[in-house]
Chains A and B, each alone.
Chain A
């Protein structure tokens, strides 16, 4: 007889609607999977990049959280230009660093005071090297200041007429200038940094600090919760003697970024939560049902093939092979259509650039393989039904 493949092809041309239904179903499903999956990976990449960018910006800007003594009245704090009159024991750092749940990192202990230096008011800051929560190793943001030395803002150095290597007297002690900062055009130009222990001694506040600067932790935040609430809750249990203030610009940017990401991931969640299950269940049902109808339509044919001595394999392949072939065709068409969809509609739907929306070869191959596998599974039972038809009974049907 003409080979089974030839029979399959001829039957396809004879019943094009039946074949087209399978091809279209598989193509639509594969296309959607390629489209949304490309979107999903672009978005997660995008989200990771956005987080990275935010983190880099924050690092460049310095810290975005300020912890000050809880007893300080905020009005006094801001009136005093961000210097708290109260202090707490610097051992609080041990509690902040020791526990995992704390959503902040890069903690820098500070003791600040307004002092006069050569008759000019400056902001004098004792600063320690930044400390990190164990298990979240990060590059040190701040190495502190070498004991016995000072680091000067440019305006201070200019007013005093000193340069790196010169000596300066501060609060009765003479210290060497280790570094003069380049002019920044901000209040930084009026600061004088010293080692924390030196500052505690000079200001006569041993073991005390009045500020901790920190970076809140983007990746360990629950996107559903407002960061401030989380931070306050954590502080209340870990270090109730502190309160938190945030850098307004960074906080706003974070809120904006989070809302964009939430909107994008909503599209993806609807796909994963609704569409994908519908596809995974629906496509095999459609293919199975169409194949069952096809077997029923062709019972006489099955009977005559058996009567002519054709084996179970031939009959099974006739139906199984057909489903497989159509699914493969559908998957290839679907993958191509999905790709087009990604290129032309993707940027609009996912709100990410065309460059990051490139369906990977792994995705394309696995969609084709997956669709074919699903079709195969769906066609097994109908094909078995075809094979187990009693030839004489099969022919009695029509």
Chain B
């Protein structure tokens, strides 16, 4: 696929530790277009998080290549990859990882470069992202003063700050009530509709209808790919 935003070729990942070896991914090949929102589902331990980390340049696969926007991520040096990630990839982690001593606004601004953070334009953008996600009156609250759904949206705002090409979201609607889950999902959908690529790892079947594709992993292999007709 010539216009692929994410190109995963024969990616395998094996965790080796004291407890032995775990084949988390086995020869996974997938590609995703700009504007595409794909769900990655599968049972717990099927390799969803590992796949997202590999795509995000945070987990070098044991085998295979990952290209984002044409760049072979693991051919870059660690520093180049870090810079690439800062500029082009937004993460929403399973555990959210908001920094407890920073406000919602500061957590979003954390994604900016040190120089960018001082610029009015960047600060306005950070504020706008939060406003867009319905957090206009929560800008200066600390994470512990926010509800789980609000924290989720702060994490999404942070992932979006730099206008990335790709957003990788791990369980963005985990632990959320349906309303909040829909709000979070709507934000990701809007990002994809604006031309970004979104991979969402989830157990939930709640949002199948809003996805362009549902990829199911089982034991580290792609078991099934369903293209939802609505958005294709």
Q: List the interface of chain A (C-beta within 8 A of B).
A: 1-3, 7, 10-11, 13-15, 300-301, 303-311, 391-392, 395, 398
Contact = CB atoms under 8 A, between A and B. Distances in A.
Contacts of B101: 10-11, 13-15
A398 B102 CA distance: 18
B117 A2 contact: yes
Contact of B110 (A1, A11, A391, A395): A1
Given A2-B110, A392-B59, A304 B93 contact: yes
A116 to B, nearest CB: 102
Given A391-B58, A395-B95, A1 B113 contact: yes
Contact of A1 (B53, B58, B82, B109): B109
Interface string B96-140: 010111100010011111100100000000000000000000000
A307 B93 contact: yes
B1 interface: no
A301 B102 CA distance: 11
Contacts of B97: 300-301, 303-304, 307, 395
A310 B99 CA distance: 14
Nearest to A300: B97
Contacts of B109: 1-2
B72 to A, nearest CB: 18
Contacts of B87: 309
A1 B111 contact: yes
A304 B117 CA distance: 17
B82 A398 contact: no
Contacts of B95: 300, 395, 398
B114 A308 contact: no
A310 B117 CA distance: 13
A1 B93 contact: no
Contacts of B59: 392
Nearest to A391: B58
B58 A309 contact: no
Contacts of B79: 311
Contacts of B113: 1
Contacts of A2: 102, 106, 109-110, 117
Interface of B: 53, 56, 58-59, 79, 82-87, 91, 93, 95, 97, 99-102, 106, 109-114, 117, 158
B18 to A, nearest CB: 14
Contacts of B82: 306, 309-311
Query: Top 6 A-B pairs ranked by shortest CB distance?
Result: A309-B86, A14-B101, A304-B97, A1-B110, A309-B82, A309-B85
Nearest to A397: B95
Contacts of B158: 308
B100 A307 contact: no
A239 to B, nearest CB: 81
- For B58, B83, B95, B97, which residue has the most chain A Cβ atoms within 10 angstroms? B97
Contacts of A303: 97
11 contacts: A1-B110, A1-B111, A1-B112, A10-B106, A15-B101, A300-B95, A303-B97, A308-B86, A308-B158, A392-B59, A395-B93
B126 to A, nearest CB: 10
B91 A1 contact: no
B117 A1 contact: yes
B30 to A, nearest CB: 20
Contacts of B83: 309
Contacts of B93: 304, 307, 395
Contacts of A391: 58
A3 B117 contact: yes
Contacts of A7: 102
Contacts of A11: 101
Given A1-B112, A3-B117, A309-B86, A392 B102 contact: no
Contacts of A311: 79, 82
A11 B99 CA distance: 9
A308 B58 contact: no
B138 to A, nearest CB: 18
Residue with the highest number of chain B CB atoms closer than 10 Å, among A10, A306, A307, A392: A307
A13 B85 CA distance: 30
Contacts of A10: 101-102, 106
Contacts of A15: 101
A396 to B, nearest CB: 8
